[in-house]
Structure 1
Amino acid sequence: MGDLQLLTDAQMRQFVTEGYVFLKADFADEFHVKLSETLDQVYKEEGNPGNNILPRIPDLAKVFDHPVISGALSSVLGEDYMMHPHRHGHFNRNAEAGGWHKDSYWGHYKMRNHHPWWAMIFYYPQEVTLDMGPTGIMPGTQCYQTRTFAENETQEERKATGRAGTFALVHYDIWHRANANIAGKDRYMLKFQFMRRLAPTKASWDHHEDADTWVNPESYTSPIYEHEVIWRDTWNWLLGKENDVTQSDASQEQLAGWLNELESEDKAIRVRAADQLGLSGNGSNEVINGLTQALNDAFEPVALNAAYGLARLGEAGIDQLLKALLDDSVHVSRAAAYGASSAGKATVKGLMHILDSNNVQAVGCAVFALGEMGEAATEAVPKLVELMHAQNEIVRRNAVEAIGLIGSASEPSVKGLELGIQDADDQVRFMAGMALTKMGSKAQNAIPVIAHALNDENRYVRATAVDALYSMNTDKAKDILLKFLRDSRWCASTTPNSTF
């Protein structure tokens, strides 16, 4: 359908700060009308097709082939992104609003990726007005594990309204909800998930070199808490660059003011103070002590800014992050892990040391941080493979994901993923399958265990095994894959009313 229409620097800056971008593709109105009519028929006669919505309604494939949609996904996730096997049609005729939530990775205990490894598309095949229960998005909340706003705090909510064919591209971890549909009309929202296969090495959007340095977008407003330390880290990661740790020209008077503001009763003031202290790059004892104390702040945005700020303050800041990883509080340990991952290679040795701890929470956080570093943590792979024998399944889940994110296609890595795809825990097997898709033909020694996973009891393990074989692009993998796909062929026109 033509060349990809990549996002601009301005749109990418909005995605980094606010966690979403609204899109409009130039389909004819008739396309959405026909698709909506098919949805009505399928839902009425068969119910929600769930994960089978794409093969059941084949015209949906045209949506994700459109250069606006594929271009936006390529911009955020890289051109070799993958569609996740879970997809779902949301039908809303409910007069009550749904609850605010983040989508789940088989349970909300998993640490979330601040870097955009995952994204979702919300597609609306009919016009959506405010009274039809549009999806509500709380901008700027994609980095928060906790809900930082009250249930009824909706004044800054962005609602996905518009003509038929409106799309929302969102960070996987954005807080969102369904609004109340009081119009008496059916409203569909079709949700599809996508995954990045490889860490970025350069910009994958319509990027101009004069935009290499992060600048806060002019459009973002005060209700979005200030997280320039996080936004800079994400921007540089998307550009394939090391994090920017240049020191600002903040005066002693300014530093003292921000340190005092860390004690403010106003949480927005504390968030900004931690952000500014981190951006200062000033590694004085006073600043490091202030940010270390702020790691314990009960308001998550403050603790996150403190963690990313400490990562910019050299060895003394890193030492505090490594100590905080061992903290009894899961909130402190988790925030410290994000900071440690931002600090890069300088933290690898310290994180590897924590892997020997009996503190399961600390080990999990350290493993997460190593995975987020990608190739910089390659030396940790043998220890991560050892953790594939851990009794705790959460440790094994973190370890197998980290091996995939580090991306080393070494023999130990592949052996670790082979263990993972045969694990007793279905989430470990799923993550191992996803990790193997990143390695392509370099993991072809794992083909026998991947082939076995095609018959796994879990639907998502089977799906990632298909993707892993596809990514290998070898004759042996293709033969196994084609036989499986022929045997499991789906017919879109076979329904309860038309069985043959």
Structure 2
Amino acid sequence: MDDPILLTDEQMQEFLVTGYLVFRPKVPEGLHDRIYKQLNQIIDDEPNPGNNILPRVPEMRHILNSPEVRGALISVLGEDYLEHPHRFCHPVWPVHEPLSPEATREKVYRNSHQDGYTPLGHPRQHYSRYARVMYYPQDSPVEVGPTHVIPGTQYNKGLTDEDKARLIPLSGPAGTVSLTHFDVGHAAGVNQRPNFRHMIKFLYLRASKPKAPSWDSLSTDWKRPTQVSVPYDLELVWTHGWDWLCGKQDRYETWQSTHSVADAKIGDLIDGLDPTSDIEKRLESIQLLAAAGPRATEGTASLVSLLDTEHQTVRAAAIYALGAIGEAAVGPLIQHLREVGTREDKKDIPDGWSEGAISMEDAANALSAIGEPAIPALRKLLLESDGWAGINAAFALGEMDDVAAPAVPDLVRCLSESKSHRKIRTMLDTLGSIRKDVPVEAISAMFFENRPEWDEDVHRWWTPTDGIRTHAAMNLARLGPDSAPVEADLLRALDDPCGHASSFAMNALQRIGSSEGLAAVMAYLMSQRWDASVDGVRQF
């Protein structure tokens, strides 16, 4: 296998700003045409294979294993990234009658969305922890209906009309691949040609926090990309993500070293947050308050009031300004979480927990950005609340990675005491992100935790038990060799009735690498082998 072709500093900076990159890997001649013809036959004659699309069309492995795709995934997710078992072929059928440009735009507009996670739900995350590869085996001019993307919306809690007006088609020749942040807004196009348009989606996730740049980095200094296709300046957010990806201890190092507010009056900056001010003025004030850091403490209440507001850019900037203020913002943010938690616990459970995505409270993201000073208050809230506030506390701790290691005993305690499968799934992910001092036995115990209330169908026959076992296996896979003490549990999990759980268990065993585990993985794969030459007509 050829060496991966890593992304450059500028490509990584562009990814942080826009949430996507487009490239075309070099693969054997004729490959895309063969894949396209196979997909046409499948869609014509068979049900959509869903997660089985790769074994059904195994030549697509040449795309995924190409130096360009592997290099891009390593760059964004780290060398130890994991492949998620969910994959899907998204065909777009030709329209019956040609549509006018106005009708086409309206249809794409209505198609706009941010993806959900499967099985069951998962929180959206600003950091680059999940990525999506979209592969197009056919030439994809705009008339074929390629995916359209909304640059910069990976930090959004939803898509506004303003966002949807910025849809950009990802057109390209056969073999085009787009790599996107999982939460970036996108939409299927409209196919006005006579043939199918196929897009095959593959998901990947980060296993461990960044310790240093995993791309072809020449400098860890932030440089604004030359091509910025987003309407507002969110450099505070972009540099925060950059510093995290570079493995810097201080995720505000770039912002506060390159922005000075020595002559600015904090009161004037707070006045600039007035809702009657234009967006650019408010963003400038928010980001200068972040540059002031703890000096901007008196602006905490005003910034908290901007959380969860309608304008997505304003709320995103406010999150990281509060993070920059630091310890003085912890109390108001915790109080905000408590109040929201009390209110939300009285409502019906959001649909996003059922094969979708959950947007955690902006206050939780702000607390995670504050880091270590927020840990004691988050630990207390975690133990106090088994509802929405406690779930957000668990999430915030996970976004801190190993900085939150002091909270591990509380998380382990809550795994056994919590009655909420939603909180348990969130805590399992948090333990996988913290990694340090995590007792893997507490995670693997979830394979064998049986509660009657977890066996009810939630969506498409998924049960809470499926979700918990999948998250347990996934996070043991993220922990890799550290999961060796529970190898026996992982061997049993290969027979889990939920394919996602067994797939992640297989991945964990592969990473542990013992002879017994690898032999079990090979036996498992041999029994799962799919003969792609067999179809609805030819059965042997």
Same fold (TM over 0.5): yes
1:140 counterpart residue number: 152
Q: In structure 2, how many angstroms separate the alpha carbons of the residues matched to 1:367 and 1:19?
A: 26
Asked if residue 443 in structure 1 is aligned to residue 470 in structure 2, the reply is no
After superposition, what is the alpha-carbon deviation per residue over 1:28-84, rounded to whole angstroms, capped at 9, x for unaligned?
Answer: 552212221222222223242221111111210111111111111111011221211
Matches within 5 A, 1:360-371: 360-371=387-398
Q: In structure 2, how many angstroms separate the alpha carbons of the residues matched to 1:110 and 1:268?
A: 32
Q: In structure 2, how many angstroms separate the alpha carbons of the residues matched to 1:109 and 1:193?
A: 15
Q: In structure 2, how many angstroms separate the alpha carbons of the residues matched to 1:254 and 1:280?
A: 10
The amino acid that maps onto 2:424 is R
Q: Which residue, out of 371, 381, 404, partners 2:432? A: 404
Deviates more, 1:11-20 or 1:425-434: 425-434
Deviates more, 1:244-253 or 1:181-190: 244-253
Q: In structure 2, how many angstroms separate the alpha carbons of the residues matched to 1:332 and 1:27?
A: 38
2:384 counterpart residue number: 357
Matches within 5 A, 1:456-467: 456-467=496-507
After superposition, what is the alpha-carbon deviation per residue over 1:262-282, rounded to whole angstroms, capped at 9, x for unaligned?
Answer: 113444543443233223325
CA separation of 1:85 and 1:8: change in aligned 2, threshold 3 A: same
Structure 1 residue 409, shift from structure 2 partner: 5.4
Matches within 5 A, 1:45-124: 45-95=45-95, 96-97=107-108, 99-106=111-118, 110-124=122-136
Deviates more, 1:435-444 or 1:294-303: 294-303
Q: In structure 2, how many angstroms separate the alpha carbons of the residues matched to 1:301 and 1:54?
A: 37
The amino acid that maps onto 1:327 is E
Q: In structure 2, how many angstroms separate the alpha carbons of the residues matched to 1:227 and 1:488?
A: 47
CA separation of 1:322 and 1:283: change in aligned 2, threshold 3 A: farther
Q: In structure 1, how many angstroms separate the alpha carbons of the residues matched to 2:16 and 2:207?
A: 19
CA separation of 1:110 and 1:87: change in aligned 2, threshold 3 A: closer
After superposition, what is the alpha-carbon deviation per residue over 1:215-260, rounded to whole angstroms, capped at 9, x for unaligned?
Answer: 332321451x332222122111111112125364225556445423
After superposition, what is the alpha-carbon deviation per residue over 1:334-383, rounded to whole angstroms, capped at 9, x for unaligned?
Answer: 11111111122222112111112236111111101111111111111111
After superposition, what is the alpha-carbon deviation per residue over 1:403-450, rounded to whole angstroms, capped at 9, x for unaligned?
Answer: 11111354xx21221122334421111111111012223322322322
Q: Secondary structure at the match of 1:127?
A: coil
Q: Which residue, out of 215, 223, 228, partners 2:223? A: 215
Q: Secondary structure at the match of 1:486?
A: helix
The amino acid that maps onto 2:327 is E
1:42 counterpart residue number: 42
Q: In structure 1, how many angstroms separate the alpha carbons of the residues matched to 2:237 and 2:394?
A: 20
Residues 149 and 186 in structure 2, CA contact (< 8 A), matched pair in contact too: yes
The amino acid that maps onto 1:179 is G
1:6 counterpart residue number: 6
Residues 368 and 402 in structure 1, CA contact (< 8 A), matched pair in contact too: yes
Matches within 5 A, 1:303-452: 303-328=315-340, 334-358=361-385, 360-389=387-416, 390-408=418-436, 410=438, 413-423=439-449, 424=454, 425-452=465-492
After superposition, what is the alpha-carbon deviation per residue over 1:174-210, rounded to whole angstroms, capped at 9, x for unaligned?
Answer: 111101112233211111111111111110001012x
Q: Secondary structure at the match of 1:181?
A: coil
CA separation of 1:297 and 1:101: change in aligned 2, threshold 3 A: closer
CA separation of 1:31 and 1:214: change in aligned 2, threshold 3 A: same
After superposition, what is the alpha-carbon deviation per residue over 1:107-139, rounded to whole angstroms, capped at 9, x for unaligned?
Answer: 886321111111011111111111111101000
Deviates more, 1:445-454 or 1:456-465: 445-454
Asked if residue 231 in structure 1 is aligned to residue 247 in structure 2, the reply is no
The amino acid that maps onto 1:101 is H
Give the TM-score normalised by structure 1. Answer: 0.92
- Amino-acid identity (%): 30
Q: In structure 2, how many angstroms separate the alpha carbons of the residues matched to 1:258 and 1:216?
A: 24
1:288 counterpart residue number: 300
Q: Secondary structure at the match of 2:180?
A: strand
Q: In structure 1, how many angstroms separate the alpha carbons of the residues matched to 2:248 and 2:395?
A: 20
Q: Secondary structure at the match of 1:310?
A: helix
Structure 2: stretches of 5+ with no match in the other structure = 96-106, 345-357, 455-464
Q: In structure 2, how many angstroms separate the alpha carbons of the residues matched to 1:277 and 1:495?
A: 62
Asked if residue 479 in structure 1 is aligned to residue 490 in structure 2, the reply is no
Structure 1: stretches of 5+ with no match in the other structure = none
CA separation of 1:462 and 1:285: change in aligned 2, threshold 3 A: closer
Q: In structure 2, how many angstroms separate the alpha carbons of the residues matched to 1:106 and 1:42?
A: 23
1:261 counterpart residue number: 272
Residues 103 and 172 in structure 1, CA contact (< 8 A), matched pair in contact too: yes
Residues 303 and 332 in structure 1, CA contact (< 8 A), matched pair in contact too: no
Matches within 5 A, 1:264-279: 264-265=275-276, 266-279=278-291
User: RMSD across aligned C-alpha pairs, in angstroms?
Assistant: 2.3
The number of aligned residues is 493
Deviates more, 1:467-476 or 1:242-251: 242-251
Q: Secondary structure at the match of 1:312?
A: helix
Residues 290 and 296 in structure 2, CA contact (< 8 A), matched pair in contact too: no
